């Protein structure tokens, strides 16, 4: 399943959830603001839960790998 798309024809190349025009940044902004994943998904119904969770899992894995590499 494709999670993120970067296409110069969609929002000028800003990373968006695949099949949508919803920027990834919207999810991180919601979570940083204290909103829940469910609130984000309610506000952006074109994003599937699997996409949002997949993005968060990939971000967590990259952060863990970066932390391990920095040791």
CATH dotted code for 4-70: 1.10.10.10
pLDDT at 33: 98
pLDDT at 67: 81
pTM: 0.87
Q: Are 49 and 42 in contact (CB under 8 A)?
A: no
User: Can you name the residues that pair with 4 across neighbouring β-strands?
Assistant: 17
pLDDT at 66: 85
Residues of the chain with pLDDT under 50: none
Q: Which residues in 2-32 are b (16+ Cβ under 10 Å) and which e?
A: ebebeeeeeeeeebbbbebebbbebbeebee
Closest CA relative to residue 39, chosen from 56, 51, 26, 50: 26
């Amino acid at each position: 399943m494709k999670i993120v798309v970067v296409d110069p024809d969609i929002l000028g190349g800003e990373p968006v959830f695949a099949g949508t025009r919803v920027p990834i940044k919207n999810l991180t902004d919601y979570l940083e603001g204290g909103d829940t994943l469910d609130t984000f998904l309610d506000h952006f119904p074109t994003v599937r839960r699997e996409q949002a969770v997949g993005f968060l899992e990939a971000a967590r894995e990259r952060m863990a790998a970066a932390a391990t590499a920095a040791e």
